[in-house]
Amino acid sequence: MRAQPQASHYVGGSYLESQSGTPFDSLYPATGEVIAQIKAADDAVIDAAIASAQAGQKVWAATSPAERGRVLRRAAEILRAKNHELSVLETLDTGKPLQETLVADAASGADCLEYFGGLAATLTGEHIDLGGSFAYTKREPLGICFGIGAWNYPIQIACWKSAPALVCGNSMIFKPSEVTPLSALKLAEAFTEAGLPDGVFNVIQGFGDVGAKLVAHPAIAKVSLTGSVPTGAKVAALAGEHLKKTTLELGGKSPLIIFDDADVENAVSAAINANFYSTGQICSNGTRVFVQKGIKEAFLARLAERTGNAVLGDPLDETTSIGPLVSRQQFDKVMHYMQIGAREGARLVCGGGAATVESFPDGYFVQPTVFADVTDDMTIAREEIFGPVLSVLDFADEDEVVARANDTEFGLAAGVFTRDIQRAHRVIDGLQAGTCWINTYNLTPIEMPFGGYKKSGIGRENGHAAIEYYSQTKSVYVEMGGVEAAF
């Protein structure tokens, strides 16, 4: 299987290869095969990307918002038309099953481009009456925005960052994760085909050092990272040193709280979606599942039974529901946490180790795993695992569970299941999390702002909220009378 792009980078509307950048491979996680060989950006590529983004931004900022919107909506249609091809590519690069990538990756990226494309012509400032004189505000672009992606939703993340940046008149340089370098290049192709001026969206490849060079570069106005908390801290520190605007979408250890009046079947579905979708590699996952004591055994029995129906297998077979983890490194990390869970005394309900999948002996497959009787102090209840490891914790009453749910440095997401409408809202009000669900989990429509409290992030993506983070307000006072002075 090969998915070699024409060249590693996409700058100024066409592919560009670096002469001296560090080479690295992109692997198909189901087999470990090399599907593409990429070279990290060297200084010449970085310089070319900056020059191209500067030139592109000038043209784009002078383009009417309505026309910007049309370009984004055309790009959305191109992604939709190519959805199958893009989904196969994303499956090869991430290992996520085609059953998922067909609906959740390029498709959700297209929704994002369409949404922000629709918003483009509606963005306005304010008129402020000062009694005779007045002021007005206008929204202006920031300049060149630098997007840094994680590997779990590569094309979706590239869309979530570029769409709001572009409608506001910015240009973008995007660096995908070195683990999944391929689909952002396809997004760049789609933008060019849709009529985006050259240089408005550029893709450069590389590891954290390339990211850091761009974060510190004086021509970059804003940095938006999706990644882990430790990387977020490094990027924030460097961006702070250079006083760059930042959006950080980081990790989590989110609570999913299930009261004993909940519909158990729906709650089990939500727990599955909150832990096993994308083989558990989702930042907002509800990995601490708090179940009220009255329904604990019924919940666990049904969860174990339904987890047994998961189909691990060939990611390109649409009947497969769980693919491999993205890399050997992630496989080792998840296996390590499974062992710690057992060692610290959690009760293994199902799974607990590597999975053997016929025809894929070298794939990074692990079993979807459920631990019960997990306590708040256990490592698996405190640290982000980023794999299919679900922890069930018992609770007795509402105040207790809210306090325990909040007892974490993270605050990305949270969910509550109950048929009591007042309790549902009361509990949500008490939870320290940026993105919450009542009687469902992990749905992130583009219309709804997404982001974290506490160490899970700074700023918001999606919805109208994202516009605030990709534009700046200019206030203009207009004097309609004379000007007085003291002397």
Residues 6+ positions from 48 with CB-CB distance below 8 Å: 11, 12, 16
| Closest CB 241 distance from ligand NAD, rounded Å | 12
| Closest CB 62 distance from ligand NAD, rounded Å | 31
Among residues 112, 145, 159, 283, the one annotated as catalytic is: 283
Give bridge partners of residue 414 from the DSSP assignment: 436
Query: Would you state the structure tokens that stand for residue 310, as one six-digit string?
Result: 């998961």
Residue number with CB closer to ligand NAD (131 or 218): 218
Q: How far is 26 from 33, CA to CA, in rounded Å?
A: 8
| Closest CB 284 distance from ligand NAD, rounded Å | 7
Among residues 245, 249, 296, 350, the one annotated as catalytic is: 249
Going by the annotation, the residues of the binding site for NAD(+) are 149-151, 175-178, 251, 283, 384
**What element of type H or E holds 81?**
helix 65-81
DSSP symbol at 196: P
Q: Which among 301, 304, 321, 299 is positioned nearest to 312, based on CA atoms?
A: 321
Q: Are strands 457-458 and 435-438 parallel, antiparallel or unpaired?
A: unpaired
Residues 6+ positions from 425 with CB-CB distance below 8 Å: 438
Residue number with CB closer to ligand NAD (220 or 372): 220
Going by the annotation, the residues of the binding site for K(+) are 26, 93, 243, 454, 457
Give bridge partners of residue 171 from the DSSP assignment: 144
| Closest CB 150 distance from ligand NAD, rounded Å | 3
Q: How far is 376 from 346, CA to CA, in rounded Å?
A: 11
Residue number with CB closer to ligand NAD (95 or 452): 452
Please check whether residue 273 is in contact with residue 240, taking contact to mean a CB–CB distance below 8 angstroms.
no
Q: Catalytic annotation on 39?
A: no
| Closest CB 293 distance from ligand NAD, rounded Å | 30
Residue number with CB closer to ligand NAD (176 or 197): 176
Please check whether residue 456 is in contact with residue 253, taking contact to mean a CB–CB distance below 8 angstroms.
no
Q: Catalytic annotation on 241?
A: no
Question: In terms of DSSP H, where are the helices of 95-196?
Answer: 98-104, 106-119, 154-167, 183-194
| Closest CB 244 distance from ligand NAD, rounded Å | 12
Angle at 341 between CA 336 and CA 343, to 5 degrees: 95
Among residues 96, 112, 145, 161, the one annotated as catalytic is: 161
- Count the Cβ atoms, other than its own, within 10 Å of residue 155: 32
| Closest CB 325 distance from ligand NAD, rounded Å | 11
Going by the annotation, the residues of the binding site are 26, 93, 149-151, 175-178, 243, 251, 283, 384, 454, 457
Query: Would you state the structure tokens that stand for residue 27, as one six-digit string?
Result: 């692997």
Residue number with CB closer to ligand NAD (50 or 268): 50
Q: Catalytic annotation on 193?
A: no
Q: Catalytic annotation on 461?
A: yes
Residue number with CB closer to ligand NAD (186 or 244): 244
Residue number with CB closer to ligand NAD (13 or 457): 457
Q: How far is 221 from 62, CA to CA, in rounded Å?
A: 18
| Closest CB 92 distance from ligand NAD, rounded Å | 17
Residue number with CB closer to ligand NAD (212 or 304): 212
Residues 6+ positions from 288 with CB-CB distance below 8 Å: 253, 254, 255, 256, 374, 381, 391, 393, 405
Q: How far is 310 from 276, CA to CA, in rounded Å?
A: 9
Question: Contacts for 270-274 with beta carbons within 8 Å, 24 or more apart?
Answer: 270/415, 270/417, 270/437, 270/439, 270/440, 270/441, 270/442, 271/299, 271/303, 271/390, 271/441, 272/303, 272/306, 272/307, 273/441, 273/442, 274/390, 274/415, 274/441, 274/442
- List of residues contacting ligand NAD (CB under 6 A): 148-152, 175, 177-178, 207-208, 211-212, 215, 225-228, 231, 234-235, 249-252, 283, 384, 386, 412, 452, 457
Active site residues: 161, 249, 283, 461
